Amino acid sequence: MVVSSAEILWLCLHSCFNVVKIDLCVACADAAFRAAFDPKSKNYHNGIKTAVPIGDAKKIPESMMGEYEVPEGPDLSKLEYGEEYDKLMAERTLMNKLKPCLVSILCCSPDVLH
């Protein structure tokens, strides 16, 4: 498969814009999270004023007083999805290795932007 330099540049710019969009989403989520714990914010504990009872063991149901036993799950290492799945996962792994290389070469190089 031959990829043109225009396609590589488009992939690079698309990746850079996605990073900026992700950074903005993270910043907004961080601000909303912090507002939930700021007593001066209208979103403090989502506006719920109910006091949370603490230290009263009588409020815990009897069924929850003992140790929790984790049940054994199925052995996921033996699952087989088939030949097509294995082929697609190999291609995905290759693309995941290719993307950072392209970003580091094209997005961070001033020569590409001029």
Query: Which tens digits make up the pLDDT trace of 6-32?
Result: 666 666 666 666 666 666 677 777 888
Q: Per residue in 68-106, is it b (16+ CB within 10 Å) or e — as a string? A: eeeeeeeeeeeeeeeeeeeeeeeeeeeeeeeeeeebeeb
64 belongs to a structural domain? no
81 belongs to a structural domain? no
Q: What does pTM read for this prediction? A: 0.30
23 belongs to a structural domain? yes
Dump pLDDT digits (tens) for 68-109. 788 888 887 778 889 999 999 999 999 988 888 887 777 755
Domain count, the chain: 1
Asked if residue 59 has pLDDT above 80, the reply is no
**Enclosing domain of residue 3:** 1-49
The better pLDDT of the pair 18, 67 is held by 67
Helix, strand, coil content of the chain in percent (nearest 5): 65, 0, 35
Dump pLDDT digits (tens) for 37-47. 888 888 777 77
Asked if residue 112 has pLDDT above 50, the reply is no
